[in-house]
């Protein structure tokens, strides 16, 4: 009888031990996260000649998922649509070269910063503008929700700029190349990539330090996803994979 009681007690203790251990592990078994991104924001996300999405954000997310062992489905929606999907619960996270801003932190939880950005002014390749002073009183094109837009608005009164907002970078660039705007303001690495790949523009003046990029989830939602992103990113920095990804896209 004593042996039966002892065996039963041990079995119960083992069950509790298993439950306790299971509770310490992030439970993502069988879950596929929906991650939204921009459609055209090279070199962070864009389509290659085969129509596949590539870029720093795309490879970084894939490497972090592999490191942490979670599954995800990528949805290239455009920046505004990606944010809307996150806020409506149709996406679990967004990686889209998103600057970590105070107003965004009110509704999103951000990862540790994964890239430090800067902004630059660009004009048509054959334009004679060489500085902000030369652009006084002109129309400046920006992309909605970007650091470039914030920077342009912050100096608009000083230089008499009229700021026009667009939903994507290609349309913003076209506004300048067709002469409807004298210049545009873009994140430096995005503009550098575009100029090198023949977008018809040239950079003028000095680049200005801007906010860092972060991976975002809806405030209070998917904390385990944010934790895995941060852990995976730290591992990639430590093992050199992060530097490899940057070197592939940033010359």
The CATH number assigned to the domain holding 218 equals: 3.40.190.10
pLDDT band (50, 70, 90) for residue 224: very high
Residues 205 and 121 in one domain: yes
Residue 9 — very low, low, confident or very high, per pLDDT cuts 50/70/90?
Answer: very low
pLDDT at 27: 52
Q: What is the dihedral of CA 232, 236, 238, 243, to 10 degrees?
A: -150
Tokens of 205: 């003046």
Owner of token pair 């967004």:
94
Reported pTM: 0.81
Cβ-proximal residues to 68 (8 Å cutoff; 6+ apart), any chain: 228, 229, 231, 232
- 95 and 64 housed in the same domain: yes
Q: What is the pLDDT of residue 104?
A: 95
Asked if pLDDT for residue 30 goes beyond 80, the answer is: no
pLDDT at 18 over 60: no
Q: Are residues 109 and 218 in the same domain?
A: yes
Please tell me whether residues 102 and 222 are part of one structural domain: yes
**pLDDT tens per residue across span 128-187:** 999 999 999 999 999 988 899 999 999 999 999 999 999 889 999 999 999 999 999 999
The whole-number pLDDT of residue 22 equals: 35
Q: Residue 145 domain-assigned? A: yes
Mean pLDDT across the chain:
89
Nearest-angstrom CA–CA distance, 223 and 228 = 9
Element (H, E) at 71: strand 71-76
d(Cα 25, Cα 142) in Å, to the nearest integer? 44
Domain range enclosing 179 = 117-211
Provide the percentage of residues in the chain whose pLDDT is more than 70. Answer: 88
Q: Is residue 44 part of a domain?
A: yes
Task: Report yes or no on 2 lying in a domain.
Answer: no
11 occurs within a structural domain = no
Domain co-membership, 107 together with 148: no
Residue 197 lies in a domain: yes
- In this prediction, residue 37 has a pLDDT band, given cuts at 50, 70 and 90, of very high
Regarding predicted confidence, which is higher, 45 or 9? Answer: 45
State yes or no: pLDDT of 1 exceeds 70: no
Are 102 and 40 within one domain?
yes
Q: What is the pLDDT of residue 92?
A: 99
Whether 200 is in a domain gets the answer: yes
Shared-domain flag, residues 187 and 226: no
Q: Are residues 156 and 220 part of one domain?
A: no
For residues 19 and 13, give the distance between their C-alpha atoms in angstroms, rounded to a whole number: 10
Are residues 128 and 192 part of one domain? yes
Residues 110 and 127 in one domain: no
Q: How many independent structural domains does the chain possess?
A: 2
**Quick one: pLDDT at residue 103?**
92
pLDDT reported for residue 14: 35
Q: Provide mean pLDDT across the span 62-89.
A: 97
Statement to judge: residues 199 and 218 lie in one domain: no
Are 158 and 128 part of one and the same domain?
Answer: yes
């Amino acid at each position: 009888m004593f042996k039966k009681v002892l065996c039963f007690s041990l079995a119960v203790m083992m069950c509790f031990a298993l439950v306790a251990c299971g509770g310490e592990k992030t439970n993502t078994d069988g879950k596929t996260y929906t991650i939204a991104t921009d459609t055209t924001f090279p070199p962070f996300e864009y389509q290659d000649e085969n129509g596949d999405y590539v870029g720093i954000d795309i490879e970084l997310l894939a490497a972090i998922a592999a490191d942490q062992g979670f599954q995800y489905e990528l949805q290239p929606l455009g920046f505004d649509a990606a944010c809307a999907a996150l806020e409506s619960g149709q996406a679990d996270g967004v990686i889209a070269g998103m600057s970590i801003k105070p107003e965004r932190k009110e509704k999103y939880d951000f990862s540790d910063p994964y890239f430090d950005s800067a902004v630059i002014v660009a004009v048509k390749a054959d334009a004679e503008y060489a500085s902000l002073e030369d652009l006084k009183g002109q129309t400046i094109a920006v992309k909605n929700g970007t650091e470039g837009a914030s920077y342009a608005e912050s100096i608009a009164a000083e230089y008499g700029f009229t700021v026009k907002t667009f939903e994507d970078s290609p349309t913003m660039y076209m506004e300048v190349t067709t002469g409807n705007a004298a210049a545009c303001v873009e994140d430096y690495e995005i503009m550098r990539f575009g100029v090198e790949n023949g977008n018809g523009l040239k950079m003028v003046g000095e680049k200005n330090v801007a906010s860092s990029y972060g991976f975002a989830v809806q405030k209070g939602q998917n904390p385990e996803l944010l934790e895995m992103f941060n852990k995976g990113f730290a591992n990639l920095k430590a093992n050199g994979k992060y530097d490899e990804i940057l070197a592939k896209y940033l010359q």
